[in-house]
Structure 1
Amino acid sequence: MVKPFVLGLVEKEGKYLFLNRIDPPKVWSPPGGWLDKGENPEDGLLREIKEETNLKVKIICPIHVFYKSKTNSLGFVYICQYISGKVKISFEHMDFMWKTLKEMKTEKINCSPSVRILEKGEKILSCLKRS
């Protein structure tokens, strides 16, 4: 059975939140995690972001769906807007950072999903802010 998970690209003042997980793979990624049985992706994403960061966010829209054959999992990536709170990372993480996607590329920071997918989300958010 395919295991669903969610990731939320949280935007605040042009920067995005990335967490560094304690367990491998030790890459920078947006907050997120596995969905509970019967949980819809949006509810699961809000729960995961709250658990992992203590932040309140607003989900803007989905930006990408992908399948990982290695783990037989299906990922749903959303763009989110920061609402309130101060980042307090969970025991699953060792650090966090707010970075622009340009900084992620320039500094060649290893992240998952790829910066290409994250750029897609940034373009969508930019279009929504203009309208």
Structure 2
Amino acid sequence: MAYTFHILSQFMQQPRQNHWEAALRTVRYLKGWCNSVWASYPLTRRSISGWLVFLGGSSISWKTKKQHTVSKSSTEAEYRSMSNITNELKWSKGLLHSLGVLHPRAMSLFCDSQSALYIA
């Protein structure tokens, strides 16, 4: 999310229609999401992953980073992003449990890639 806003902020002086559409697409993910941009880092062609974890209505964890390996497809990059946020969700749930906060229900994971969801 931070990376996306960083890129969009570069066009604040002369925004165009595609920048507005990208901003709306970005805000749509503020419910709790994971996403990746396939091969977006120009020097190494590695993908960029991002996630945001909510507890109730408050965000408690977020991160944007380059993936460690080069993905062969956007589906693989999205799947890696889902794996990363799953680890974060498990860690968050364990932390809450150690603090005495029980969360018996399953946590929701949102991803916009249908092919990555089918693999998962």
Q: Same fold (TM over 0.5)?
A: no
| Rg comparison, structure with higher value | 2
User: Greater helix share, 1 or 2?
Assistant: 2
* Larger RCO of the pair (alpha carbons < 8 Å, separation 6+): 1
Structure 1 or 2: larger strand share? 1
TM-score by length of 2: 0.27
